[in-house]
């Protein structure tokens, strides 16, 4: 048994046609039963029924239509249900140009890394000081000073002058040092991934492939080809670099290669719009810890 798949417009047309058909059947039955009731009510050959019957005349018994109407309503409800279950939503196709052939031609100019300066040489050792011992003459006799005090001699107390020291200036604490800036890595053990593939069952490699396809679909769905580039027939590949931080946010968006015609700013705008999504990127990890990762994304502009 094949699956019945209908688009939104096909489902709407089918439901509308079924509703018109049901209304037509209802109006036809009402008109038919009314005419039959009038004809049989005016005729003289009306069958009498027993007292226990719920109808007075068999010829004008409307309950004989209960079962057909019930079956018709049941089949209509089942048809409505099948149409609702057959409503299939198709994902909008996004044209993704092949950028693999252009990746080899992309050469990013990097700032040359200067080697760190060599440590200064150790200071020279201090000069050696030779201590010369002077001989003590043995023939010098010690001189004694007379320290006897006469009882009538007045002794004056020494005057001690205390100099007032200036008030100490308050110590100025140095400002706290800035936290060290975390390095940005180019390659991590687990590279950052575009959201949407974390719940799938598979390896990290399969999730990376899925995330790359979803990233390209998102970019080319939200990328607007500038009108000035269309009018001038500008085509080519722009290269955007951005950083995926430890929380999965897009920062430091930088346009590395621009083909002109407003294509570069349009690509930057599409990349920055990823921060407006409900889910952030899955951050890259190094040794099991989230790290900032530099991501390079080529975006091809094609007029086809």
Rounded average pLDDT over 167-193: 81
Q: What is the value of pTM for the model shown?
A: 0.50
Q: What are phi and psi of 153, to 5 degrees?
A: -80, 130
Q: Which residues of 231-256 are buried (b: 16+ CB within 10 A; e: fewer)?
A: eeebbbbbbbbbbbbeebebeebeee
- pLDDT band, residue 102 (cuts 50/70/90): very low
Say how many C-beta atoms besides its own lie within 10 A of residue 229's C-beta: 19
Residue with tokens 């920055």: 272
Q: What is the pLDDT of residues 109-155, one digit of tens each?
A: 444 455 666 778 888 877 777 667 666 666 556 666 666 666 666 66
Number of Cβ within a 10 Å radius of residue 263 = 24
User: DSSP state, 273?
Assistant: G
250-257 and 236-244: which strand pairing? antiparallel
> Whole-angstrom Cα distance, residue 60 to residue 55?
8
212 backbone dihedrals φ, ψ, rounded to 5°: -65, -40
Complete DSSP assignment for 20-52: HHHHHHHHHHHHHHHHHHHHHHHSS-PPB--TT
Which tens digit of pLDDT belongs to each residue from 39-85? 766 555 555 555 555 556 665 566 777 888 888 888 888 888 888 88
Residue 50 Ramachandran class (φ > 0 left, ψ -120 to 50 alpha, else beta)? beta
CA atoms of 273 and 98, how far apart (whole Å): 22
CB 242 within 8 A of CB 269: no
> 166 by DSSP, 3-state: which?
coil
Question: What is the average pLDDT value for the chain, to the nearest integer?
Answer: 78
Residue 226: count of CB within 10 angstroms of its CB: 18
- pLDDT band with cut points at 50, 70 and 90 for residue 96: low
Q: How much is the average pLDDT of 232-254?
A: 91
What CATH class has 184-301?
alpha beta
Give Cα separations from 281 to 132, 193, 211, 278 (angstroms): 78, 6, 10, 10
Residue 217: phi and psi, rounded to 5, are: -60, -45
Phi then psi for 117, rounded to 5 degrees?
A: -65, 150
Distance CA 30, CA 65 (A): 11
Domain ranges of the chain: 1-37+55-90, 184-301
Q: What is the longest distance spanned by two Cα atoms in the chain?
A: 178
C-alpha closest to that of 254 among 301, 294, 194: 294
- The model's pLDDT over 206-242, given as tens digits with 9 standing for 90+, comes to 888 899 899 989 998 999 999 999 999 989 999 999 9
Q: Which DSSP symbol is given to 153? A: -
Per-residue confidence (pLDDT) for residue 244, from 0 to 100: 92
3-state helix, strand, coil in the chain (%, to 5): 35, 15, 55
- Cβ atoms < 10 Å from Cβ of 269: 13
């Amino acid at each position: 048994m094949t699956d019945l798949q209908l688009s939104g417009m096909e489902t709407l047309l089918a439901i509308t046609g079924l509703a018109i058909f049901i209304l037509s059947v209802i109006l036809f039955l009402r008109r038919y039963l009314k005419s039959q009731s009038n004809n049989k009510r005016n005729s003289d050959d009306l069958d009498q029924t027993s007292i226990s019957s719920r109808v007075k005349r068999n010829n004008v018994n409307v309950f004989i239509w209960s079962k057909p109407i019930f079956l018709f309503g049941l089949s209509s409800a089942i048809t409505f249900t099948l149409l609702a279950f057959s409503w299939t939503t198709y994902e909008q196709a996004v044209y993704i140009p092949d950028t693999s052939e252009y990746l080899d031609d992309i050469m990013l100019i990097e700032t040359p890394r200067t080697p760190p300066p060599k440590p200064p040489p150790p200071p020279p050792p201090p000069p050696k000081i030779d201590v010369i011992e002077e001989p003590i003459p043995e023939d010098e006799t010690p001189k004694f000073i007379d320290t006897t005090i006469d009882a009538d001699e007045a002794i004056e107390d020494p005057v001690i002058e205390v100099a007032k020291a200036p008030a100490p200036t308050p110590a100025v604490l140095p400002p706290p040092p800035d936290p060290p800036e975390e390095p940005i890595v180019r390659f991590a053990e687990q590279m950052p991934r575009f959201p949407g593939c974390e719940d799938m069952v598979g390896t990290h490699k399969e999730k990376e492939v899925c995330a790359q396809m979803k990233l390209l679909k998102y970019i080319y769905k939200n990328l607007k080809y500038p009108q000035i580039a269309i009018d001038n027939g500008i085509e080519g590949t722009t290269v955007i670099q951005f950083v995926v931080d430890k929380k999965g946010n897009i920062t430091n968006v930088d346009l590395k290669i621009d083909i002109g015609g407003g294509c570069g700013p349009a690509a930057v705008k599409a990349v920055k719009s990823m921060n407006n999504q409900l889910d952030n990127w899955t951050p890259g990890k190094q040794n099991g810890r989230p790290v900032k990762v530099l991501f390079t994304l080529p975006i091809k502009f094609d007029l086809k």
